């Protein structure tokens, strides 16, 4: 039971590469070659981070960010702290990719341990899906393990007057909005469009640099890494079957041929309008 309006919020994020104009794979086809790529917090959860900062600015309380990833994911945690997240937790893998079941299992156990030490999170935010793997399930698995309600696809969040419920809305199929009302503690899967994230300021980055990141070293592979703490969960997540198991990645076949250049500069306008008429989109 919370006292006052202060909100304790956790955002779970994933580090993803910034792929640019084309994807290049490593020679063994196991991963995207990120040698020349920067990384970022995956877009949906970037908005989750911004939202957590805004909620704490408005309501008081504290915020934390958590990620399961390689040591380099510390970069994304510091980016989150640079815009105002109070503290960060890195569940450090050896660099291998984890399947969504194992990922959710460790995150749920971590949350249970964190809450035992620091008190409950009123609200936990996940991204609706990660931009790279697109598994659409980690948040739901964690919510199930913790026995808390969750709704995905969220593009707006507000609280009831009593601050005991979170209200959230998402786009309905075919248009319009659906509103949900969840008693706290609750979990939301958010989508980009929730807000417009701010850019970190230089002082923000300097403050973030000075903060400690809490590190938990996981095993080199998912099996054997579970067992951070006892944690009884309602759904037997510790015994959940991991998967899907990646064999390799590959690029889809090219579907289109290169563009036909029909002109240069404004002089091309007649050729463009000829084209529009030819393909029948211009009602004359």
Partner 1 sequence: MVIAFVEHAGGEPDRLSLEALALARGIAGELGVPLDAIVLGSDAESVARLGRYGVGLAHVATDARLDDYAPAAWAAAIRGVISVRAPAAVVAAGSERGNEVLAHVAARLGLPMSANTIEVTPGESWQLVRQRWAGSLLEDATLDASVRLLTVAPHAVEADPAVQAGPAPTVTRFAPELEPADLVARVVSREAKTSAGVSLSDAKIVVGGGRGVGSAEGFARLEELAGLLGGAVGGSRVVTSLGWRPHSDQIGQTGLRIAPDLYIACGISGAIQHIVGCKAAKRILAINTDPESPIMAVADYAVIGDLSTIVPAISAEIELRRA
The interface with partner 1 within residues 49-68 (CB under 8 A) comprises none
Q: Which two tokens stand for residue 256?
A: 């289109």
Give the closest residue to 53 by CA, choosing from 79, 15, 85.
Answer: 85
Applying CB under 8 A, which of residues 14, 15, 44, 54 lies at the interface with partner 1?
A: 44
Applying CB under 8 A, which of residues 150, 157, 184, 226 lies at the interface with partner 1?
A: 150
CA–CA gap between residue 32 and residue 109 (Å, rounded): 29
Applying CB under 8 A, which of residues 2, 39, 113, 149 lies at the interface with partner 1?
A: 149
Q: Which two tokens stand for residue 94?
A: 């050896």
Stretch that binds partner 1, among 6-14, 48-56, 64-72, 143-151 (CB under 8 A): 143-151
Stretch that binds partner 1, among 60-68, 77-85, 87-95, 100-108 (CB under 8 A): 100-108
User: Smaller CB distance to partner 1: residue 228 or 235?
Assistant: 235
Give the closest residue to 59 by CA, choosing from 4, 120, 126, 10.
Answer: 4
CB atoms within 10 A of CB 45: 33
Work out whether 70 is an interface residue with partner 1 (CB under 8 A): no
- Cβ atoms of 130 and 42 within 8 Å: the answer is yes
User: 8 pairs with which residues across the strands?
Assistant: 62
User: Smaller CB distance to partner 1: residue 4 or 252?
Assistant: 252
Stretch that binds partner 1, among 63-71, 117-125, 151-159, 201-209 (CB under 8 A): 151-159
Q: Least distance in Å: CB of 37 to partner 1? A: 12
CA–CA gap between residue 209 and residue 205 (Å, rounded): 6
Work out whether 73 is an interface residue with partner 1 (CB under 8 A): no
């Amino acid at each position: 039971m919370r006292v006052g309006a202060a909100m304790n919020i956790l955002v779970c994020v994933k580090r993803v590469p910034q792929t640019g104009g084309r994807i290049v794979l490593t020679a063994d086809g196991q991963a995207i070659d990120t040698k020349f790529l920067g990384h970022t917090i995956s877009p949906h959860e970037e908005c989750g981070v911004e939202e957590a900062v805004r909620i704490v600015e408005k309501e008081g309380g504290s915020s934390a960010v958590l990620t399961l990833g390689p040591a380099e994911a510390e970069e994304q945690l510091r980016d989150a702290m640079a815009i105002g997240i109070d503290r960060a937790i890195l569940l450090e893998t050896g660099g291998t990719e984890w399947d969504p079941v194992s990922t959710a299992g460790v995150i749920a156990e971590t949350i249970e341990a964190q809450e035992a030490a620091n008190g409950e999170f009123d609200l936990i935010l996940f991204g609706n899906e990660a931009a790279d793997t697109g598994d659409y399930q980690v948040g739901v698995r964690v919510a199930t393990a913790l026995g808390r309600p969750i709704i995905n696809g969220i593009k707006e969040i507000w609280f009831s007057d009593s601050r005991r419920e979170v209200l959230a809305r998402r786009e309905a199929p075919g248009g319009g909005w659906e509103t949900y009302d969840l008693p706290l503690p609750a979990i939301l899967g958010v989508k980009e469009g929730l807000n417009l994230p701010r850019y970190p300021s230089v002082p923000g980055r300097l403050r973030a640099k000075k903060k400690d990141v809490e590190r938990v070293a996981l095993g080199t592979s998912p099996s054997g890494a579970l067992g951070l703490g006892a944690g009884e969960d309602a759904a037997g997540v510790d015994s959940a079957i991991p998967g899907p198991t990646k064999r390799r990645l590959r690029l889809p076949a090219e579907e289109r041929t290169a563009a036909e250049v029909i002109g240069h500069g404004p002089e091309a306008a007649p050729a463009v309008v000829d084209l529009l008429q030819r393909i029948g989109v211009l009602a004359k």
